[in-house]
Amino acid sequence: MIMLALTLLLLSTGCALRGKDASAALFAMDTYCTIEAHGDNAALAVEAARTELLRLEALFSISEPESDVSRINASDGAPLEVSTDTAALLAAASAVSTETDGAFDVTVEPLVRLWGFYDDAQRVPAESEIRKSLSRVDYRRLLLNGRTVQKGADQSVDLGGVAKGYASDRMAAVLAANGVDGALISLGGNVHALGVRPGGGAWRVGVQDPADESAVLGIVEARDCAIVTAGVYQRFFEREGVRYHHIIDPADGRPADAGLISVTVIGSYGARADALSTALLVMGEEAAIAFWRSGGHSFDMLLVTEDGRLLYTGTAFTPHTSAYRFAKIVE
């Protein structure tokens, strides 16, 4: 059975919507999505953001035959022209792949398919099958040149680890262009905060405890940033007492097993934060901390370890939990 859970719990910051407030809820990109905004023009802004989400969903869907992603995957390795958004998303994904030495890899599709995560046919594949699929996974063989994309003939892409982050960036841009004072977008584990919350001040976003859907780890004070969580509890199946989840380590073709159960990234760009959260979960605690340090602290993160620790960087997050031993990582 596939277990889906909302990663981030939005604290109810003004549920009773006032005159200038507007909100929308919909199912898109395989998850429950909400948009709320306040200020002049909020209703039109929310509607425009909703339309933008549905437009991008149509481009990035892996199951819709006419989508850019399906056209890329159906191509035999010949160059193909895609939309500006798909090209921008692939460029953002490629950048993170390079930075993380392939811990994030948009060409991971053959492995995710092999483990049965697309069609609810989860199973543990044989080592020989994993080896065969692994040979098709390599982001360096996906070539981008403007709006032209070329993949290896045997390759397929999966934007599941980055598309929601990209969509939140575009939706935030649409909301800002419509002149709202503040907005909060939630696409499953992807939250994007724009401007101020109703009444002023930063938005307050609760980060879900990976072990308890109804509890939070703490609060992020968020203003003009994305807060994205990747967790091993979001989608998984069990066989003979072993749990297998949906984030695959492209180094060995198996569910990531580096000691982290959840990674939250706080950053300026949703697409990058989304891809990074997935990558850091694959990399594990030590490599994630080294990566954060080497990148000049260009983002903040929260790591939850298998052995009950919560490690975090920066000043935006304040822990509120007694379920974990927490420690702040500095310099």
Distance CA(22)–CA(36), nearest Å, equals 6
Closest C-alpha to 60, from 189, 160, 196: 160
Which H or E element spans position 215?
A: strand 212-222
Distance CA(174)–CA(54), nearest Å, equals 13
3-state DSSP assignment of residue 162: coil
Contact call for residue 112 and ligand AMP (CB under 6 A): yes
45 vs 228, beta carbon nearer Mg ion: 228
Determine which residue in the list 22, 45, 72, 108 makes contact with ligand AMP, applying CB under 6 A.
108
CB 99 → ligand AMP: shortest distance, Å?
13
Q: Which of residues 48-107 bind ligand AMP (CB under 6 A)?
A: 104-106
Q: By rule CB under 6 A, what string of x and - marks binding of each residue 271-310 to ligand AMP?
A: ---x--xx---x----------------------------
What are phi and psi for residue 179, nearest 5 degrees?
80, 25
Distance CA(151)–CA(245), nearest Å, equals 27
Q: How many CA atoms lie within 13 A of 166 on its CB side?
A: 23
CB 277 → Mg ion: shortest distance, Å?
5
What are phi and psi for residue 12, nearest 5 degrees?
-75, 100
Q: Are 193 and 202 in contact (CB under 8 A)?
A: yes
Determine which residue in the list 220, 247, 288, 304 makes contact with ligand AMP, applying CB under 6 A.
247
Distance CA(102)–CA(97), nearest Å, equals 5
Q: By rule CB under 5 A, what string of x and - marks binding of each residue 274-293 to Mg ion?
A: x--xx---------------
Which partner from the list Mg ion, ligand AMP, none does 108 bind, CB cut-off 5 to 8 Å by kind?
ligand AMP
Q: Are 278 and 106 in contact (CB under 8 A)?
A: no
How do strand 21-28 and strand 31-38 relate by DSSP bridges?
antiparallel
Q: Which of residues 218-237 bind Mg ion (CB under 5 A)?
A: 230
Determine which residue in the list 207, 248, 311, 329 makes contact with ligand AMP, applying CB under 6 A.
248
How many residues in the shown chain lie near ligand AMP by CB under 6 A? 20
31 vs 75, beta carbon nearer Mg ion: 31
Contact call for residue 161 and Mg ion (CB under 5 A): yes
Q: By rule CB under 6 A, what string of x and - marks binding of each residue 178-197 to ligand AMP?
A: -----------x--------
Contact call for residue 161 and ligand AMP (CB under 6 A): yes
Closest C-alpha to 100, from 321, 283, 250: 283
In the chain, what's the furthest Cα-to-Cα distance? 61
The site for Mg ion (CB under 5 A) is made up of 161, 230, 274, 277-278
The site for ligand AMP (CB under 6 A) is made up of 104-106, 108, 112, 117, 158, 160-161, 189, 230, 234, 246-248, 250, 274, 277-278, 282
